Amino acid sequence: MTGPTADPEALRERALAALLAARDRTTLLTGCVEESELTAQHSPLMSPLVWDLAHIGNQEEQWLLRAVAGRDAMRPEIDPLYDAFEHPRAERPSLPLLAPGEARGYAAEVRGRALDVLEKTPFHGTPLTDAGFAFGMIAQHEQQHDETMLITHQLRTGPTALTAPDPPAGDPYTGPAEVLVPGGPFTMGTSTEPWALDNERPAHRRLVPPFYIDTTPVTNAAFQLFIEDGGYERMRWWDPAGWAMVHRNELRAPLFWRREGGQWLRRHFGTLEPVPADEPVLHVSWYEADAYARWAGRRLPSEVEWEKAARHDPVADRSMRYPWGDADPTPERANLGQRHLRPAPAGSYPAGESPLGVRQLIGDVWEWTSSGFLPYPGFSAFPYREYSDVFFGGDYKVLRGGAFSVDAVACRGTFRNWDHPVRRQIFSGFRTARDAGPAEAADPGGR
């Protein structure tokens, strides 16, 4: 599929491929450890892996078998156990959850029936079935939980359970450090992407002043300069709540880092390794990203700035699906789908750069923005309020672009992620931005 106007049968094939790919990944993430590891809670921030496994099956049953096909519930008594809003993660280990074998069997039985529903359902007639939305939603949901399970794998202690090849080595990036994004109107969001979720809709025009944005995400080497300059020790760089977090938790570096023998090391999926200088920094909270940006004399980009940098084609004056155009992601364009278990070096993937020359806007690391999570003008909750609506407001900050942990089905130029600004276990990084002065906007080459 190369765009949102694909015919129904192409969408059906895409849905089948997406569902199968998600289940293959779920099987990998839950099959590489002992059953005791599946039922354990490796962090109070995360569910036991076996909860995610059965929750995936339960959501698929509720939406594809019950809502789309109108079938009776298979296991109605377990619905409350796997309701994410009824039971916070910290208490899920105490619930009478399905055992690993039973959870696998349940998810497999649901999937078999769901594929039969996929084959027989017309991709028109109702909002849930138009363009196969419900099937795309469930594929995205499973991949989002696969990413959550990958986070759990990073948090767990013990021997390495997952392996993957490193990203392909390329020439070191030698281009400009920042790029000017011209001011002017821009179409944000989408009203045409068939599987876009409710918070990505509708498309709407925004006027964006000119600004500069980093060509690549901030690297580990750059972040180390912030640490060495006393970044975690100087209140002047920090949001008050972030400064309180630093002192409360005695933070001195990103999560999983430690200083040993005169160098920084990090724990990475069960392996202790030197922090790679040229990789985008990973596992930093919004507060850490914001403090670094202030220290550097810059700021985090707003959500609309990030999306304009990622989607705006200044020549055609249109918004594209991805930085490189409308074609789907490929391994040459972006680091997605857990093909690798780490970000690629900053400046990688020249085939994925935007028309303005910004790189790695899709994949590698989720990028914090300065924006809170709010609805777009004309927002309408669909198919349930709990996906987005209940999260609007509060202290949530928006992340954009996906990471190596994200599958392409759940990542596009309009996709919005959000989390609390204290979160560090997620695969989060950032890039910085700054305002463009009148002279710079008029003559970008003269700076």
For the chain, the average pLDDT equals: 96
Given this model, what pLDDT does residue 158 score?
Answer: 85
Given this model, what pLDDT does residue 443 score?
Answer: 61
CA 34 from centre of chain? 27
The enclosing H or E element of 428 equals strand 428-429
d(CA 346, CA 279): 6
Given this model, what pLDDT does residue 179 score?
Answer: 97
Given this model, what pLDDT does residue 438 score?
Answer: 83
Question: What proportion of the chain, given as a percentage, has pLDDT over 70?
Answer: 97
Is a pLDDT exceeding 60 seen at residue 208? yes
List Cα–Cα distances, 151 to 11, 251, 256, 445, in angstroms: 30, 20, 12, 42
Q: What is the mean pLDDT of residues 186-196?
A: 97
d(CA 352, CA 354): 7
pLDDT digits over 96-154, tens only?
999 999 999 999 999 999 999 999 999 999 999 999 999 999 999 999 999 999 999 99
Dihedral over alpha carbons 8, 11, 13, 19 (to 10 degrees):
-140
pLDDT digits over 15-63, tens only?
999 999 999 999 999 999 999 999 999 999 999 999 999 999 999 999 9
Q: Which of 383, 365, 373 is nearest to 416 (CA)?
A: 373
Query: Bridge partners of 272?
Result: 267
For 265, residues 6+ apart whose C-beta sits below 8 A from its C-beta are: 257, 258, 259, 272, 273, 274, 275
Whether the full predicted model's pTM is greater than 0.85, yes or no, is yes
Is a pLDDT exceeding 60 seen at residue 2? no
Give the full edge-to-edge strand order of the sheet including 178-181. 178-181, 211-214, 433-435
Given this model, what pLDDT does residue 283 score?
Answer: 98
Is a pLDDT exceeding 60 seen at residue 447? no
Number of H helices, E strands in the chain: 10, 14
d(CA 433, CA 212): 5
Given this model, what pLDDT does residue 171 score?
Answer: 87
3-state secondary structure of 399: strand
d(CA 190, CA 321): 9
Higher local confidence (pLDDT), 362 or 172: 362
**How do strand 366-372 and strand 204-208 relate by DSSP bridges?**
unpaired
d(CA 52, CA 146): 8
Tokens of 92: 């899920």
- Pairs from 322-328 (Cβ < 8 Å, separation ≥ 24): 322/352, 322/362, 322/412, 322/413, 323/352, 323/353, 323/354, 323/355, 323/358, 323/361, 323/362, 323/413, 324/351, 324/352, 324/353, 324/354, 326/2, 326/3, 327/2, 327/3, 328/1, 328/2, 328/408
Question: What proportion of the chain, given as a percentage, has pLDDT over 90?
Answer: 94
d(CA 424, CA 255): 6
Given this model, what pLDDT does residue 318 score?
Answer: 96
Q: What is the mean pLDDT of residues 253-269?
A: 97
Is a pLDDT exceeding 90 seen at residue 379? yes
Give the full edge-to-edge strand order of the sheet including 428-429. 417-419, 397-400, 366-372, 428-429
CA 13 from centre of chain? 24
Looking up tokens 């249109």 gives 318
CB neighbours of residue 144 within 10 Å: 18
The single-letter code of the amino acid at 55 is H
Higher local confidence (pLDDT), 158 or 239: 239
Q: What is the mean pLDDT of residues 255-277?
A: 97
Indicate the range of 34-43, 149-158, 297-306, 433-442 predicted with least confidence. Answer: 433-442
Evaluate the CA torsion angle 331, 274, 45, 243 in order and state its sign.
negative
The pair phi, psi for residue 295, each rounded to 5°, is: -60, -40
Is a pLDDT exceeding 90 seen at residue 437? no
Given this model, what pLDDT does residue 445 score?
Answer: 53
The single-letter code of the amino acid at 441 is A
Is a pLDDT exceeding 80 seen at residue 6? no
